[in-house]
Chain A
Amino acid sequence: MSYVNGLKCRECGREYPKDVLFVCEYCFGSLEVDYDYAKIKKSLTKESLKDRPKTMWRYAELLPIDKEPTVGLFSGFTPLLKANNLARVLGVRELYIKDDSVNHPTLSFKDRVVSVAISKAREFGFDTVACASTGNLANSVSSQAASCGLRAFIFIPADLEAGKVVASQIYNPNLIGIEGNYDEVNRLCSEIASKYRWAFVNINIRPYYAEGSKSMGYEIAEQLDWKLPRHIVVPSAGGSLITKLWKSFKELEKLGFVDKVNTKVYCAQGQGCAPIVTAIKEKSDVIRPVKPKTIAKSLAIGNPADGYYAVDTVRKSKGWAEEATDEEIVEAIKLLAKTEGIFTETAGGVTLAAAKKLIEQKVIPEDESIVVCITGNGLKTQEVVTKSLPKLTKIKPNLASFEEHIKNGDRQKIAENKVIEYYI
């Protein structure tokens, strides 16, 4: 059963049928899915959720597919954990981590959007899916296309790190490295998308694809027993996630699941690629494109497609924004690992580093609930932390050698642990 009326232009409000469209042909504004909320209200209730699977599909009425999902059946419903150890270190009372680093099947929040995009692409009858990506999106499209036997074309910059190439290549897609700078890669993908009749998940399927992000917001609300957090810190690349999280909260308000939305939304970006943060801090309406230069490559979008909407969301929610330097990103990755046992990728480091700064600046108060969105897994970007970790301790295979080691070499670690125990 469908709960989607069609598509609607975000700028001029013109309505379109649910089709493979992404730009308003009149004003060139981007299109967004428009739902029949009255119909949804009858079907989606707190009671009805009790018997549904613990995946993102428990909120199927609010996702833009008309039939049963055909891929990503186990995506979503990732843990929301109360991060008491980290809270003590940061000096706050109520801190939660939304942990999409363990999302299924490819360990990032992209599994949510790709599950929707490929299920929708199959409804439209496409036999080929495609995407232009620097990492997580490529991994998820490659994996989920393989799982349902679709042909996949994945376009990546030719000089991408080996680890990210392997995590797509293993699924045997048509993986194509483009020799060119960032702008040239974008330009080529745009031309390919307009010429070939493929489902480009982040171009012509984008209105549907982006809706998948909302599931993260529904989950946070449900996991907090239908109370929204007072503060939520979200990483931004193209600006879509932050916009859709806000939309998910407003939808829950509209459907009566939560009280009036009173959440402040904060945008986090890496310092070398922070066009959205800059616009928010300068109180400007204009997103000035930048040439990305940050270790947080999964957030390195210099000209964010939804940048304007991200700025608007932060403003409407009375939130703010912060950026993180490369050093702060690495420190935050290590802090999360040390305190909560979660190994996140650079994007997660950006988000936690930004949250830490906002707390230190008293922009986020210490006595209200805070959610930090962790969107990817550290195993994918190991190279950024390798240098700052201690070298492996090697000993001879006998007890004397071990005891010699703990007598001398381990003292520092014991001292370090004491510092942590102090906080705990």
Chain B
Amino acid sequence: MAKRIVKLTFPQKLVKEPLTFQMAKKYNILPNIRRAKVTETVGELVLELEGQEQDLDKGIEFLKKAGVIVESIVGDILE
């Protein structure tokens, strides 16, 4: 099993969609929410994802395709 720490940003139109649940169920990923913030315009979720390496890739791709911004929690390293 592998782990990935990610920050998900949901644009306003996606805030009400249960995308995290769908991703978890479809790709057998265990999401552990550590931080969340929802404002008028945006939803932010910081979580740890646990699953098979390939499933994590697929799950993240699923979220990206749906319109969620997926970022690594440490930001870009190259500076």
Contact = CB atoms under 8 A, between A and B. Distances in A.
B42 A301 contact: no
B78 A27 contact: no
A303 B76 contact: yes
B77 A286 contact: no
B5 interface: yes
A132 interface: yes
Contacts of B41: 284, 286
A289 B76 CA distance: 10
Contacts of B42: 284-286
Contacts of B5: 23, 28
Given A11-B35, A26-B34, A29-B35, A186 B46 contact: no
B44 A189 contact: no
Interface in A193-209: 193, 202-203
Interface string B27-50: 000000011000101101010100
B79 A23 contact: no
Q: Main SS of the interface on chain A?
A: loop
Nearest to A187: B72
A304 interface: yes
Given A157-B78, A189-B78, A289 B39 contact: no
B76 A238 contact: yes
A252 interface: no
Contact of B72 (A182, A190, A285, A301): A190
B69 to A, nearest CB: 7
Contacts of B69: 286, 288-289
B18 interface: no
Among A27, A28, A157, A187, find the residue whose CB has the most chain B CB atoms closer than 10 A.
Answer: A28
Given A27-B46, A284-B41, A289-B71, A132 B77 contact: yes
Interface in A1-43: 11-12, 22-23, 26-30
Contacts of A12: 35
A30 B46 CA distance: 12
Contacts of B77: 132, 186, 189-190, 193, 202-203
A238 B79 contact: yes
Residue in B5, B44, B74 whose Cβ sees the most chain A Cβ within 10 Å: B74
A328 interface: no
A307 B77 CA distance: 13
Interface string A270-301: 00000000000000111011000000000001
Interface string B60-79: 00000000010111111111
A132 B76 CA distance: 10
Instruction: Count chain B CB atoms within 10 A of each CB in A23, A30, A133, A289 and give the residue with the most.
Output: A289
A23 B78 contact: no
Interface string A378-412: 00000000000000000000000000000000000
A346 interface: no
A301 B39 contact: no
Given A22-B74, A190-B72, A305-B75, 4 more contacts: A28-B35, A186-B72, A238-B76, A286-B44
Sort A-B residue pairs by CB-CB distance and give the 10 closest, nearest first: A305-B75, A303-B76, A132-B77, A189-B77, A27-B35, A301-B76, A132-B78, A186-B77, A27-B34, A28-B73
Interface of B: 5, 9, 34-35, 39, 41-42, 44, 46, 48, 69, 71-79
7 contacts: A23-B74, A182-B76, A186-B72, A288-B69, A301-B76, A301-B78, A303-B75
